[in-house]
Structure 1
Amino acid sequence: MTRFTLALAASLGLAACLPAGADAVPSEYLAIEWTLVSINGQPFTATGKIDLSTPGSIAGQGPCNRFSGSYDGTLPEFRPGAIAATRMACPDLAAESAMLAALAEMTRAEVTGPVTLLLTGAKGGSMEFARPMN
């Protein structure tokens, strides 16, 4: 066998071991946590963060609770599945509910500038996030 054939066989063998949806996440999405700035063009005054750095996974922090789940699609395609959240109460629980409800409606995730992540939905909704500054 030639080296090329061996390398190809090894590559195919490794690719077969990866879970479905384990495509590489484009580097522009790899900010550890993006900070929520607005929902549907309205400022989000509470604290909200999202992390898309693991292929197929969503994680984050709302004003009160941490959440996690999965999404289908290869970014920028983005179809969230069920989102699980801890159940702590706080004064900003309504803002958190709005955040999670909006997230469930999103269908696309795009980095639109050096520091902006824009999630958009099929019904016209949007969520704008900013990259944390170091």
Structure 2
Amino acid sequence: MERRIFSIAAIAALCLGGCAGRVGTPGGAVDPLQARGEQPGWRLTATPGRVVFASDDGRLLVDETNEAGTVPKDGRLQGKRIIIDSRVQACALGGSAYTQTVRVTVDGQAWDGCGGAQSRGLSLGAGKWNVLSVSGRSTPLDRPFEASFERGRLSLQLGCNRLTAPYALAGQLLSVGAVAATRMTCPDMSFETAGLQALALPFEVEPIGTDQLVLRNALGTFNLARARS
């Protein structure tokens, strides 16, 4: 079966709002900043190439080039529409402890929350996971929707082609590298398209008990449940 490597440009073309660049890959020199807030809910991902802010209600999504090429850990990042002020200071949110307090100002409106690494570690573990939904859409039962994390590689099938990529997990932040895929054409490619779009940014990994995971960023969400043998 023929395989292909998705280039940076190809992945970017799938993103909302015309993505400006590829996310930093595992092992890169600069760690991305993942932050979130509540009441109202919002999420931010800042990489050396891009800054993406999204409100949880879906009413606001801003995706812009990070012209400074830096990610703030203790300081300010000034963008065209997005300003990030971050401090190395303990921050609590939703029962979790984070290493940074973060204020994001979007078009003059301030949003306060937490970011950086979380205090507790996480292990994805070997074995298969069933993909229950992709960006809020429940997956059908007549096609394979599954994921696995083994030996530093992610394998993902979203109803059609098998996608594989290296990944790195730092605390609760999952970064995915260049994606390779088989080249089948299926009647419904919408789940795969949405999945590729989401893979362009690091994910915040939220465990639910021991058998479910939520992978979430500003461009998409995967809900996973551990497959039973």
Q: What's the TM-score, normalizing by structure 1?
A: 0.66
Q: Which moved more, 1:84-93 or 1:106-115?
A: 106-115
Please state how far the C-alpha of 1:133 moved relative to its aligned partner.
1.7
For the 8 Å contact 1:68–1:85, the answer to whether it is kept is yes
Question: In structure 1, what is the equivalent of residue 37 of structure 2?
Answer: none
For the 8 Å contact 1:60–1:68, the answer to whether it is kept is yes
Question: In structure 2, what is the equivalent of residue 83 of structure 1?
Answer: 179
Choose from 204, 207, 213 the match for 1:117: 213
Choose from 123, 144, 147 the match for 1:47: 144
Please state how far the C-alpha of 1:42 moved relative to its aligned partner.
2.6
Please state how far the C-alpha of 1:71 moved relative to its aligned partner.
2.1
For the 8 Å contact 2:197–2:220, the answer to whether it is kept is no
**1:57-85, Cα deviation, whole Å (9 max, x unpaired):** 21122211111111234352211121110
For the 8 Å contact 2:166–2:176, the answer to whether it is kept is yes
Choose from 57, 66, 70 the match for 2:162: 66
Q: Output the CA distance in 2 between the equivalents of 1:75 and 1:106.
A: 12
Please state how far the C-alpha of 1:106 moved relative to its aligned partner.
4.1
Choose from 162, 169, 191 the match for 1:95: 191
Q: 5+ residue gaps in structure 2?
A: 1-26, 28-121
Question: In structure 1, what is the equivalent of residue 84 of structure 2?
Answer: none
1 or 2, which has the higher strand percentage? 2
Question: In structure 2, what is the equivalent of residue 126 of structure 1?
Answer: 221
1 or 2, which has the higher helix percentage? 1
Percent same amino acid at aligned positions? 30
**Higher RCO structure (Cα 8 Å, ≥6 apart):** 1
Please state how far the C-alpha of 1:100 moved relative to its aligned partner.
2.2
Q: Output the CA distance in 2 between the equivalents of 1:32 and 1:61.
A: 14
Q: Output the CA distance in 1 between the equivalents of 2:135 and 2:191.
A: 13
* RMSD after superposition: 2.5
Q: Output the CA distance in 1 between the equivalents of 2:155 and 2:202.
A: 15
> How many matched pairs?
108
4+ aligned runs moved over 6 Å, structure 1: none
For the 8 Å contact 2:136–2:221, the answer to whether it is kept is yes
What is the DSSP-based 3-state SS (H/G/I as helix, E as strand, rest coil) of the residue aligned with 1:120?
A: strand
AA at the equivalent of 1:53: E
Q: 5+ residue gaps in structure 1?
A: 1-19
For the 8 Å contact 1:75–1:108, the answer to whether it is kept is no
What is the DSSP-based 3-state SS (H/G/I as helix, E as strand, rest coil) of the residue aligned with 2:206?
A: strand
